Amino acid sequence: MSDENKKNEQLEQYRTDDKDKKLTTNQGVKVSEDEFSLKAGERGPTLMEDFHFREKMTHFDHERIPERIVHARGFAAHGEFQPYESMKEYTKAGFLQDPSKKTPVFVRFSTVAGSKGSAETVRDARGFAAKFYTEEGNFDLVGNNIPVFFIQDAIKFPDLVHAVKPEPHNEMPQAATAHDTFWDFIANNQESAHMVMWAMSDRAIPRSLRMMEGFGVHTFRFVNEEGKARFIKFHWKPVLGTHSLVWDEAQKLNGKDPDFHRGDLWESIEKGDYPEYELGVQIIEEEDEFKFDFDILDPTKLWPEEDVPVKLIGKMTLNRNVDNVFAETEQAAFHPGHVVPGIDFSNDPLLQGRLFSYTDTQLIRLGGPNFHELPINRPVCPFHNNQRDGYGRHTINKGQVSYHKNSLAENTPEPATEAEGGYKHYQEKVEGHKIRARSESFKDHFSQATLFWNSMSDHEKDHIIQAMSFELGKVESESVQQQVVNMFANVSMDLVKPVAEAIGVDVPEAKDSNVTKSSPALSQANTKHSPSTRKVGVIVSEGFNGEEVANIIEALKAADLQPEFISSSLGKRKGTDGVEVTVDHTFLTSDSVLFDALYVVGGNDLDKKFKQDTSYFLIEAFMHFKPIGATHEGKELLEDHMHGSPGVVAESDSKTFVKGFVEAVAKHRHWDRELV
């Protein structure tokens, strides 16, 4: 990371390295013994005066803080954001003015429903929270990888979360929506239909945190120097494209590697394969607010990209892992209300409620009102006000004055004028009766759910049918199952009929909506494809074809693939021509689900166990539609039905093999493969 990263410089003051140091108490007194508590006699009771024991134990007893009520399971990294061009025309936000200016960022990704220790490849939305440490204060873009939300009004959030979390009487199931209370909530709160479609789609099981989109979800405002405002929505577009796992694979990964997503992010950054995301905005002029067939304030609606194009305005690169997960990732406090001049809110009732919740939750989680002083949360610009005291106060405010207005400190700290950078809320004219109601314009819950369905490719539709059949198949109440199926008849009978049949409830009467429109941008079939950083498991044994295989491995690396060797045991495997490879994993320590593709090399001396293990890996990879390559003796290890299948590249000629295999890997998955 470049030295001029101000956040990094600031954090450096707080970092400490205990290596090669003497052990001390927190008071700095050197400790002479850390294994035996102070006792009255070798077999006697421990003495109260053992200050080292007391301090060590007390600190340990208080190590835990409450986990986040939602988004408890998360992982974060540092990075930088750089705009492509000045956005002066649209916003006065300082960090978006100069294409040569880099702004430090900290990004925390998360699952929503699971607790802090839950597995990572569950079916769920992913949080995508970015903190920009700008010169004008912190701007937090606290988004998800799904562009819409379950509910329209923040007052329903506690109900939604109670329904999705493990059921209170038996605390099951962990990190899953496949249970009665979640689906009961859905059927009885039908504004959730659109988000449910996304949650049942492949978007909810990303291949990698590096390969998913991010969305601000709500409508925000950009305000420029002249005070002109426009409605905007924020997007993150991953440079590697948007790719997903398959459900069977995701479930197996939860056992084989519950840290799969954080491991992938951590390793990529350690290797220098820095995850990159382009920041985009959709912009709607104020005068066009009512030109759409949905309300632009409704958080259950997206703005189809074909109607309102996404303007890419900059790139974020994550290039440094944290030094300490608790100090940084866990103590990071995000808030959609952390905005800077040039960025403002809309009246989206979900956003308005979030503006209250985030500080409130930090007060219990981080133990008081001074969490902004924790190193990870401190802005890189100075901050001055009359707020004082409270638990864990770090700042030593000098002087006698802590109030406004005053004369003793010449009325400082003083409010800044707009020209000096003072935040001025956009002067939107509002009027109305105090009323607990929802706008009529928020009442269409199904059109965009159908738009989403219409936009899916055949295999994506099939995955949604499978996901719903799985989820509802786990629901015990037949009444809830029936209610949900009846509800989704409003979306499409092509979806509902096979689901109803799979779970054995009545196929409801057709209520197909008349939405025929689709939005190609919503389908992952239309995303970018690249072989870059894809992990290839290379199955190898003694006596493999040395030189040729070595050349193939080099060519795969040159194409930015990441081959790792798998064999029966660790150590070296000898090939012909004096070539040797070091095994990275055994059949026992790895699994096909941990790789994007398999390349079977084999060898000239294969025992039954090796063949069996290889066969298990291959069958699973094949079922998960993964690219499979085979050369030399490896070709004989393929099952008969695999030969000639899409994405299976079995070749003797090295060059033809490399070309075909790299292309197959870039495709991600081969959905046109027929399963047997």
Nearer to ligand HDE, 143 or 537 (CB): 143
> Positive or negative CA dihedral for 619, 622, 627, 628?
positive
Out of 71, 218, 445, 668, the active site residue is 71
Nearer to ligand HDE, 299 or 314 (CB): 299
The least CB distance from residue 59 to ligand HDE, in Å, is: 24
The least CB distance from residue 294 to ligand HDE, in Å, is: 17
Helix 478-488 to helix 493-503 angle (10° resolution) is 160
The least CB distance from residue 344 to ligand HDE, in Å, is: 16
The least CB distance from residue 242 to ligand HDE, in Å, is: 17
Locate 641 and state its tokens: 């039905």
Contacts 24+ apart (CB under 8 A), 420-425: 421/94, 421/136, 421/341, 422/341, 423/339, 423/340, 423/341, 424/341, 425/344
Cα torsion for 353, 355, 357, 359, to the nearest 10°? Answer: -170
The least CB distance from residue 148 to ligand HDE, in Å, is: 9
Active-site residue, 394 included: no
Nearer to ligand HDE, 351 or 480 (CB): 351
Nearer to ligand HDE, 10 or 359 (CB): 359
Nearer to ligand HDE, 70 or 581 (CB): 70
Locate 566 and state its tokens: 């798998």
Contacts 24+ apart (CB under 8 A), 419-426: 421/94, 421/136, 421/341, 422/341, 423/339, 423/340, 423/341, 424/341, 425/344, 426/221, 426/223, 426/227, 426/229, 426/344
Nearer to ligand HDE, 310 or 553 (CB): 310
* DSSP assignment string, 598-648: EEEEE-S---HHHHHHHHHHHHHHHHTT--EEE-GGGGGGS-GGGTT-TTE
Which positions touch ligand HDE (CB under 6 A)? 68-71, 74, 108, 110, 127, 129, 142-144, 149, 154, 157, 217, 332, 334, 350, 353-354, 357-358, 361-362
Question: 128 in helix, strand or coil?
Answer: strand
Nearer to ligand HDE, 149 or 260 (CB): 149
Contacts 24+ apart (CB under 8 A), 368-372: 368/392, 370/394, 371/331, 371/333, 372/333
The least CB distance from residue 275 to ligand HDE, in Å, is: 16
- Any residues with CB less than 8 A from the CB of 638 and at least 6 apart, and which? 600, 618, 628, 630, 648, 650
Q: What pairs with residue 173 in β-bridges?
A: none
Contact criterion met (CB below 8 Å) for 280 and 312: yes
Nearer to ligand HDE, 143 or 603 (CB): 143
The least CB distance from residue 349 to ligand HDE, in Å, is: 8
Out of 138, 144, 254, 321, the active site residue is 144
The least CB distance from residue 142 to ligand HDE, in Å, is: 5
Measured distance CA(263)–CA(119) in Å, rounded: 12
Question: 450 in helix, strand or coil?
Answer: helix
Measured distance CA(103)–CA(380) in Å, rounded: 10
The least CB distance from residue 146 to ligand HDE, in Å, is: 8
DSSP 3: T
The least CB distance from residue 602 to ligand HDE, in Å, is: 45
Q: What is the identity of the amino acid at 557?
A: K
Nearer to ligand HDE, 101 or 365 (CB): 365
Measured distance CA(422)–CA(166) in Å, rounded: 45
Neighbours of 558 (CB within 10 A): 10
* DSSP assignment string, 189-224: -GGGHHHHHHHTSGGGSBS-GGG--EE--S-EEEE-
Helical ranges in 395-545 per DSSP H? 447-455, 458-473, 478-488, 493-503
The least CB distance from residue 246 to ligand HDE, in Å, is: 25
Question: 39 in helix, strand or coil?
Answer: strand
Neighbours of 81 (CB within 10 A): 25
Nearer to ligand HDE, 332 or 559 (CB): 332
Residue whose C-beta lies closest to ligand HDE: 127
Q: How far apart are the first and last CA of the chain?
A: 49
If 0-12 CB within 10 Å is exposed, 13-18 middle and 19+ buried, where does residue 452 land? buried
Nearer to ligand HDE, 175 or 594 (CB): 175
Active-site residue, 144 included: yes
Active-site residues: which are they? 71, 144
